[in-house]
Structure formats: C-alpha cells, structure tokens
C-alpha cells in the first residue's frame, strides 16, 4: 500500500468515508486494524479514536457453536431477514484459515453468498490465526469501525467449543449458542461455561422429520439451563428450535434478541455491559502493547540470547530465567 | 495449608519425596504449582528448579479431539495397556469445570476409574478455568513434576477444537488426534491447524458394525493429511482405526508412538523439539510475570482508575488509554 501504487487516504478521508458508509474505505481501515506493521497500527488507532462513540444504536450478537452446528447458514438466514426489514448488517465471519497456513482442509466453500451480494450487508472474514479462534482486540476494533459505518446489527461468528466464546462474550451484547438436535455426547462434552455465557440456545437443524429428536434436545437444554446461575438479572434464557435451511425459527430468534435488548436497556444493564466491554478492550490493548515493549526492549534482547542458552543447556530453569528477563526489562530505558 | 494444621514439607522434603515417587507429595507440589498465591508460587518454583533435567527418558503425548470423540475412554485403554507392560503412566486429564463455576452440565462422571486404581498410574485433573482449555504454563510445570517422580509416559488430554491444541503442541512430543467415523460435517469444521499439529489421527469408535463408515473416514483423513505440509521431516503421519471400547487398535497406536520416538531421536529432532519447549515455557512464564508486575505497579494502579473513568465516559479511546497506562508502568519503580 505504498503511495507510489495508489493514493493512501488521510485519517480525515478514512473517517469521513467510513461515516458515509464507503465499504471500500471501511475494508481498507479493517485491513489496517489487522495489520501487524507499526505504521498501520498507528494509523488504525488514529482512525479508531475519531470513530468512537457512534455505536450506541447498534446491537452486537455473538453466534457460537461446535463445528457443523450450521453457524454460517443460520447467520445468512438471519442476515437476509434483517436486510429485508431495512436494517444494515455487518458479519464478522470466521475465516477458516489455520495457525500454520491458509485455507480449510476441504478448500474454501463460498460462504453466505446471498447475504454478501446484498447492498445493505457487509461480510468480513476475520483471521483466526494466532489468537483465540478469531476473536481478539482486532475483532473488537473491527466492530467499532462497522458501527461507525452505520451498521446496526453486528454479528460475530466464533468457532469451536473453547475459550474463544469467553472472549467474544467480552465484546458482544447477546450470545446465541447453536446446538445440534439429539447429541447426548455433545451435551456431555459442551462445557458448562459455554452454556453459561449463552443468552439464547437454538437447537438448529431441527428440520422436518427430526422434530421429535429436536424437541427432546430442547427439553434437555432447558433442564441444563435451569441448573445454571443467571447471566443477567433481567433476562431468563430460553431454548428455541430453528432450521436455518428451511427458514423456520429464525424470526423468533430475532424477536427474542429484540426483547432481550429492550429488557436490558430498561434495567440499565445494557449500558453497564457496554462500559465493561470498553474496560476489557482497554486492558487487552494495554497487555498487547506491554508484551511488545518487553520483547522490543534493548536490554531484554541483549539478555534473551544468554538466558535462553542457559535454559536450553539445563543450567538455568525457565522460572529463574524468566525472572532474569523481567529484571532486564525493568532496567531498560529504550522503549 | 498453614503449619498449625499440618506439617508443611520443606523444599528438600518435597524434592526427595517426588523423586522417590511419593504420590501424596507429588499431588501437593502440583497444588502449589496451580495456586495463585505468591508464597505457593515461590515454593513451587524452588521445587521445580530442583526437579529439572529428569525428563529425558519420558515421552509426552497430547491427546486431542472434539467433545464426544472418546478421549477419556481411549486414554484409559492406552494407560492400562502401558501399566501392564510395566510402565509408569501419568495422565493430566481435563477437569470439566467451567470458567464461571465448577462441574460439568450433567454432573461429573467418574472418569478413568480402572486406570486410577492402578498403583503405577497417576491421574491428575488439570483445571481448565481461566486458560486455554486446560493447557497452560501450569500444565507444562506439572509435566516436569511428573517426570521427576519417574513417570515415563505423560498423557495430556486437551478439550475442544481450538487454540488449546496449539498450546499443548508446545509442551508434548507427540500429538494424537481422535476423530469420529463418518462425520463429514466434522471434517469440514475441524480447522486445518488442528490436523497440522497431529502426528497420528485415530478414527475412534470404529466399533464392530461401523467398519465401512470408519474405513471411509480413514480414507478421507488420509486424503486430507496428504494435502498438509509435513510437521517433522523424519515422520509421515498416518490414520489408524481404533475402538477404545472394544480395545482394538490401541496397541497399534502405542507401536506408532514408539516408532515415532525412535525416528525422531535418530534424526535429532526429538532433542530440538524439547529445547523449543523449554524456550516456549521460559517466554510463557516471563509474559505471565510481566502482566502481573504491570497490574501490581503502584503508578499503574494510580493511573488506572482515572484512565478507565475517561474511557468509560467516552472522553478517551481505549487505544489512547492503553498508551497512558504503559507510560505509567514505564515510570514506575515499585516492582
């Protein structure tokens, strides 16, 4: 992106373009956010600083569930429903890239093609490499940019059954957990923590002919939810049956989300949660910067080779070695 | 664990007890490792410093796979095979606790009861709360303690299909991925990164009557593996069929692990990988300590309330706020 090849917009141009809904400039700003180059990060933060405070009218929805639960089909069905209602929808979708190389095992499938073609929808694959299954401070920053661009519904897809859901919970207003019908094994394997952060459970793929098994699963999940502490005092979680493929249950999910938003705004928990999210982002960014300063500090760099050598030779334990590196950082004045 | 209630062993007593295979002292030392109290951490590191360098004869095996793939049944079958051969086996098993409260959804099942009852086996649930699905520097430190206690095979169970596998890959010699037969959805959902870190894929639950579907899955996974870059130059990954329930295939898995160890030791990659693991632990501990120093620094504590308030009021962006906190830390002399 050197100036010789194409015009690099100024911060002013980025901010104005994003606010006017220019998708190309929004995309370029997200690319800056995701970049690891210091000059891009600097520019990204200048843009973000100017874009803050525009998100009060948005709703941020995290959609989680095990691989195969039908997350992208569901998100497309919900997104199409919403754009038909005149809403502007941004989806931060999982990019099925790995930590070591690009691309999914079976090749990239075209995902959410119909939604992607809609002028009021914006779909952005978020890189899952290097951080917790695709949710990171970068995801949070991307949400802020989409809000500045006027997207009213931001859907964040997260992969897997692990820590990434806990992280996404720190940046969305509402968490939807998609489950498959009839999976006793799956229920056993789903950790309680994942259920605990869900505001709504949808038994997805409850297609025609599978109603009985889906109803049974619904009863199982309802029983499981009853055992959990409440997440929000003003909200009672529930379980819905959906078939994204057949289009059933999707509008009920949206109605539930609207009811949730109304209840939370009334109780004041909505704003409290948004404040908590800002605090979380502040700390996440501070910790990232701290780590970077540590590894970039001249004294740490000097000490590292020697400490590593001694640790690898078995002369120094990793614990004592770490203490040495910390001492080097505290005596450093280079950063 | 105050001295009034029971005798607190000295570092010397801990180290001697662990080296003599005293399971009670080993358990207590692991509890110290897992403790977040500074005095426990200090003691844990003194014990660990003295226990280093005893692990050269061990083999560390990571067992991963989606919930429901049969990890604990498989580990018990493999462990029983090994103790019958006279080997001493330690298992760091997933503790199905959540990030917000204890216990699995459907209550704790008794896990690996038969293996747990064997005198040459040691089973320790590792807390999964707060860190990546149960693998953390604490897990690595627990491996080191088990090795000092003379366990020759250390099996680390990891949950889920996410980042925890990448982390476990930084502390084990061999990664076994358990998959279920016939799960097209699952193959699609498994991220390439998980396949890439596997040294062996076992299609588990290939029970009698499911051979055809299991054979088909085997062919699918073999095709997927052929598309991946190699993980170790001296090792060609393969796919085996196993039924932990019926006991088939388990000894083939162990033979494969032995062949892997022989090949890696011959090529020198074994030692290189162990050195890389030590380096990784050094950095992980340093980063943990760094974060703790940051939040404990007097100037950071002073600045934090003000910065947070401004961020929450929308007067300061999280990015600019983070820069302020970092400045406060760099000017601090309290830690």
**Between chains, do B329 and A290 touch, taking CB under 8 Å as contact?**
yes
Residue B138 is predicted with a pLDDT of: 86
- Show the CA angle centred on residue B84, arms to residues B80 and B88, nearest 5°: 80
Whether A289 sits inside 8 A of B101 (CB atoms) is no
Nearest to B133 among A96, A101, A162 (CB): A162
Say what the pLDDT of residue A241 is.
Answer: 95
* Chain A residues within an 8 Å CB radius of B131: 163
Q: For strands B89-95 and B121-127, give the pairing.
A: parallel
Rounded to a whole number, what is the distance in Å from the CA of B67 to chain A's nearest CA? 4
Query: Does the pLDDT value for residue B158 go beyond 90?
Result: no
Q: Mean of the pLDDT values across residues B288-298?
A: 93
| Average pLDDT of the residues in A31-41 | 88
Nearest residue of chain B to residue A317 (CA atoms): B49
Which CATH fold would you assign to the domain B53-268?
A: Rossmann fold (3.40.50)
Query: What class, spelled out in words, does domain B9-51 have in CATH?
Result: mainly alpha
Please answer yes or no on whether B290 and A289 come within 8 Å at the CB atom: no
> What's the rounded mean pLDDT across residues A172-181?
91
**Contacts of residue B185 in chain A, CB cutoff 8 Å?**
67-68
Min Cα separation B269/chain A (Å): 14
Q: Return the pLDDT at A144.
A: 92
Give the whole-angstrom CA distance, residue B29 versus residue A32: 47
Most confident of A186-195, A202-211, B264-273, B312-321: B264-273
Contact B133 A103 (CB under 8 A): no
The angle, 0 to 180 degrees and rounded to 10, between the axes of the packed helices B71-84 and B250-267 is: 70
B176 phi and psi, to 5 degrees?
-105, 125
Q: Region A28-34: what's the mean pLDDT? A: 93
Angle (nearest 5°) at CA A102 between A98 and A106? 85
What is d(CA A85, CA A211) in angstroms, rounded to the nearest whole number?
Answer: 29
B329 close to B311: Cβ distance less than 8 angstroms: no
pLDDT at B99 over 50: no
| pLDDT recorded at residue A184 | 53
Of A289, A30, A86, A74, residue with least CA distance to A201: A74
**Is A326 in contact with B293 (Cβ distance < 8 A)?**
yes
A185/B67 touch (CB, cutoff 8 Å), yes or no: yes
Please list every residue in chain B whose beta carbon sits closer than 8 Å to the beta carbon of residue A186: 67-68
Residue at token pair 């796979």: B65
- Asked if B323's CB is within 8 angstroms of A289's CB, the reply is yes
User: Average pLDDT in the B47-62 region?
Assistant: 84
Q: Which of B102-116, B180-194, B241-255 has the highest mean pLDDT?
A: B241-255
Q: What is the pLDDT of residues B219-244, one digit of tens each?
A: 988 988 888 888 888 899 999 999 98
Domain ranges of chain B: 9-51, 53-268, 283-330
Inter-chain CB proximity B275 and A312 less than 8 Å? yes
Please determine, for residue A64, whether its predicted confidence score (pLDDT) is greater than 60. yes
Nearest Cα residue to B175 out of B165, B163, B183 = B165
Contacts of A319 in chain B (CB under 8 A): 45, 48-49, 285
Same fold across A1-51 and A54-267: no
Model confidence at A232: pLDDT above 50: yes
Longest dimension (CA), chain A: 69
Please check the confidence at residue B10 and state whether its pLDDT lies above 90. Answer: yes
Once rounded to an integer, what is the mean pLDDT over residues A217-241?
A: 88
Give the span between the Cα atoms of B163 and B166, in whole angstroms.
5
Nearest to A308 among B229, B279, B308 (CB): B279
Q: Which of A161, A187, A282 comes nearest B106 by C-beta?
A: A187
Per-residue pLDDT of A135-152, as tens digits, reads: 578 888 999 999 999 999
CB atoms A289 and B68 under 8 Å: no
Per-residue pLDDT at B290 exceeds 80: yes
Please tell me the distance from the alpha carbon of residue B28 to that of residue A273, in angstroms, as a whole number: 40
Asked if B193's CB is within 8 angstroms of A99's CB, the reply is: yes
Point out the residue among A229, A314, A319 whose CB comes nearest to the CB of B45. Answer: A319
Asked whether the beta carbons of residue A163 and residue B162 sit closer than 8 angstroms, the reply is yes
Q: Tell me the average pLDDT across A289-303.
A: 94
What is the sign of the dihedral through the CA atoms of B22, B26, B29 and B35?
negative
Task: Compare A18 and A127 and report the one with higher pLDDT.
Answer: A18
Of B98, B224, B278, the CB nearest to A318: B278
Of residues B126 and B186, more confidently modeled: B126
Fold adopted by A1-51: 1.20.5
In this prediction, residue B2 carries a pLDDT of 46
Say if domain A54-267 classifies as CATH 3.40.50.300. Answer: yes
At residue B189, the pLDDT reads: 47
Of A134, A193, A10, A164, nearest to A143 by C-alpha is A134
Comparing B107-121, B237-251, B311-325, the range with the smallest average pLDDT is: B107-121
Percentage with pLDDT > 90 across chain A: 50
Question: Which residue, among B155, B173, B166, B159, has the nearest Cα to B195 in the 3D structure?
Answer: B166
């Amino acid at each position: 992106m050197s100036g010789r090849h194409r015009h690099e917009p100024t911060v002013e141009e980025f901010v104005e373009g994003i606010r006017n809904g220019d998708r190309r400039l929004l995309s370029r700003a997200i690319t800056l956010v995701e970049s690891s180059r210091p000059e891009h990060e600097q520019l990204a933060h200048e843009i973000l600083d100017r874009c803050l405070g525009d998100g009060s009218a948005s709703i941020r929805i995290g959609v989680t569930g095990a691989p195969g639960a039908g997350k992208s089909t569901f998100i497309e069905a919900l997104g199409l429903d919403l754009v038909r209602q005149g809403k502007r929808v941004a989806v931060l979708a999982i990019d099925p890239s790995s930590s070591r190389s690009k691309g999914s095992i079976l090749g990239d499938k075209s995902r959410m093609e119909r939604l992607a073609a809609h002028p009021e929808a914006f779909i952005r694959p978020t890189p899952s490499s290097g951080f917790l299954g695709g949710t990171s401070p970068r995801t949070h920053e991307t949400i802020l940019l989409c809000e500045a661009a006027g997207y009213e519904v931001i859907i964040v897809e997260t992969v897997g059954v692990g820590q990434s859901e806990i992280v996404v919970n720190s940046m969305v207003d509402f968490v939807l957990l998609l489950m498959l019908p009839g999976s006793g094994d799956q229920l056993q394997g789903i950790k309680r923590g994942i259920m605990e952060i869900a505001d709504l459970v949808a038994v997805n793929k409850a297609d025609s002919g599978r109603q009985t098994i889906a109803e049974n699963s619904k009863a199982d999940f309802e029983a499981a939810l009853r055992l959990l502490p409440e997440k929000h005092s003003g909200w009672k979680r529930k379980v819905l049956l959906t078939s994204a493929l057949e289009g059933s249950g999707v509008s009920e999910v949206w109605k539930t989300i609207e009811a949730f938003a109304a209840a939370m705004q009334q109780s004041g928990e909505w704003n409290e949660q948004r404040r908590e999210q800002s605090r979380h982002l502040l700390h996440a960014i501070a910790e990232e910067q701290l780590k970077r300063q540590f590894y970039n500090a001249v004294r740490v760099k000097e000490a590292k080779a020697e400490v590593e050598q001694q640790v690898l030779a078995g002369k120094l334990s990793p614990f004592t070695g770490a203490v040495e590196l910390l001492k080097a950082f505290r005596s450093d004045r280079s950063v």
